[in-house]
Amino acid sequence: MTEKEFIGRFLEMMGNLRSLVANLGVIVLVILTLMTANTMSMAARERVCEIAVLRSLGFTSFDVAAMMLSESLLLTLAGAAASLGAALLIFNVLGTSPAPEFFPLFTVAPSTMAAAVGAALGCGFLSAVAPAARSARRTIVDGLRQVV
């Protein structure tokens, strides 16, 4: 039996590796969305007075919600850019592989990069919807009452 046949049979014994990796990716994405939602909720809670001052200066509820959404999207896109940059450097430029015996040539495909950016945008949007809506609905008087 050649080494290639052995590796092929070994991978068959592991089961459906593609669905396992996809399921793990979905679980990680859900966890990251919850972590980003927690970060955005804390940011909105800490800025109640600032948002009330912005609203009293003439910013609309839509402006406040747009600022919260854009902050979340920028946060997640910065994380995606850093991780994609590291992945491209490690795998595409340096040519390393996580398991050279199973994956002698391991590169990050453009479709994978597009999926990662899409996931980051979805994560950023979903995590900021509730805090942005809550911040936009809060009245100016209620926001100014919470002066620390």
List the domain range (segments joined by +) for residue 130: 3-145
Report the predicted TM-score, pTM, of the whole model to 2 decimal places.
Answer: 0.76
Please list, in sequence order, all residues whose beta carbon lies within 8 angstroms of the beta carbon of residue 120, skipping any fewer than 6 positions away. 76, 77, 79, 80
Measure Cα distances from 121 to 3, 7, 109 in Å: 42, 37, 19
pLDDT at 5: 84
pLDDT at 142: 87
Closest CA to 75 of 1, 131, 148, 144: 131
Which portions of the chain are predicted below pLDDT 70?
147-148
Domains: count for the chain: 1
